[in-house]
Amino acid sequence: MRVAVVTGPGEVDLREEPTPVADLDEVVVEVGATGLCTMERRLFLGIKKIYPVAPGHEVAGRVVEVGDAVAGLPGVPQVGDTVTVDLLTRCGACTACRRGRSSLCKQPQGGELSDGTLSFGAGLADYVTVKAKQAYGTGSARIEHAAMGEPLACVAHSLRLGGLRAGDRVAVVGAGYMGRLHLALARQAGAASCGLIDLSPERLAEGLEAGAAWAAIPSEALEAGGKQDLVFVTAGAQGVLEAALKMCDDGGTIVLYGAFPKDVAATVSPDYLHHHEVTLLGAYSQEPEDWTQAAALIASGRIAEDLDALVTARFPLEDVGKAFDLAANSPVYRVLVG
């Protein structure tokens, strides 16, 4: 089978790998679509210098083989089913996993191709193999939607840790792909209102079309939306945390979902957090219960219109280089390969 390998900045090759075979508790999935996320963009641009590497962890496809130990087991996707795939390795034994926080598994992530090339998912391929428990059925949903299972699970994790309740007032900092998914899921969860904050007039306008209650540039956000119960930061930058604190109402929560540059520091008053009972927390990756919610939402079709709007382009695997170039060098939501 074919698998895409990033060999250097701006360089992507297709290599041949043995076609996988399911172990007793595994399923083999014929990949239908794989999303290119920030990690792939950084690899292609040379920001993240890890070469050669086989990336691709936002994967969906059709089950073509099921291991003997799980074949016919209730709940296990069977041959022909469309699934979204969790490619995160969770050891189940470390302190984080034992506490139910497997998104923070202490076992180093990644694997290897047959020639020793580092693998971070290796989902830009014809097939992937995963444990059956990490393949989630998405019913009759479009494959493009199923390929958004991983980022949707991450957002479900963000909302869960943030404690979003029906009736909450929500602001999302960043109107890019992850910001828009926060908007979609917050609305599904019954938020009284959900606004978007971004520097791009185009993305703010598109966010309003997608159902945002309000949209504003950072300097006008407080006036536009007022105080909020929950502020999700999906785009980390200098000054963003301080701005989020100004928008967060008493008893509210700020969720730092997006990564910040390593050298960014913030000034936060512990006394202010104490007297106003403001919660500040981080949300990273996803866990199995988040996958269950994400897959169910995809299968239900309730956010199909939201997901359709976020597919910027789709390329066949043989044009994976063109897909990387578009994703890395143009303003996009999601570029899919497969």
CATH number at residue 254: 3.40.50.720
Residues 319-330: tens digit of each pLDDT: 999 999 999 999
**DSSP letter string, 7-64:** EETTEEEEEE-PPP---TTEEEEEEEEEEE-HHHHHHHHTSS---SEE---EEEEEEE
Task: Give the residue-averaged pLDDT of 19-24.
Answer: 96
Q: How far apart are CA 46 and CA 142, in angstroms?
A: 33
Using pLDDT thresholds of 50, 70 and 90, give the confidence band for residue 37: very high
Give the structural domain span for 135: 2-148+310-337
Q: CA–CA separation, 307 vs 276, rounded Å? A: 37
Please tell me the distance from the alpha carbon of residue 118 to that of residue 111, in angstroms, as a whole number. 6
Residues 228 and 173 in one domain: yes
Q: At residue 269, what is the residue type?
A: S
Grade residue 96 by pLDDT with cuts at 50, 70 and 90: very high
Share above pLDDT 90 across residues of the chain, in percent, rounded to a whole number: 99
Question: Is residue 218 domain-shared with residue 276, that is, in the same domain?
Answer: yes
Residue range 243-268: average pLDDT?
96
Q: What pLDDT sits at residue 110?
A: 87
The pLDDT tens digits for 140-165 are 999 999 999 999 999 999 999 999 99
Average pLDDT, the chain: 97
What's 33's domain CATH number? Answer: 3.90.180.10
* Domain assignment of residue 133, yes or no: yes
In a domain, 298, yes or no: no
Residue 139 has a pLDDT of: 98
Residue 188 has pLDDT above 90, yes or no: yes
Tokens of 148: 């958004």
With a threshold of 0.85, does the pTM exceed it? Answer: yes
Local confidence band at 109 (pLDDT 50, 70, 90 cut-offs) = confident
Does the pLDDT at position 59 exceed 90?
yes
Residue 304 in domain: no
pLDDT per residue over 290-309, tens digit each?
A: 999 999 999 999 999 999 99
Question: Are residues 142 and 168 located together in one domain of the fold?
Answer: no
Cβ proximity of 74 and 187 under 8 Å: no
pLDDT of 81 strictly over 90: yes
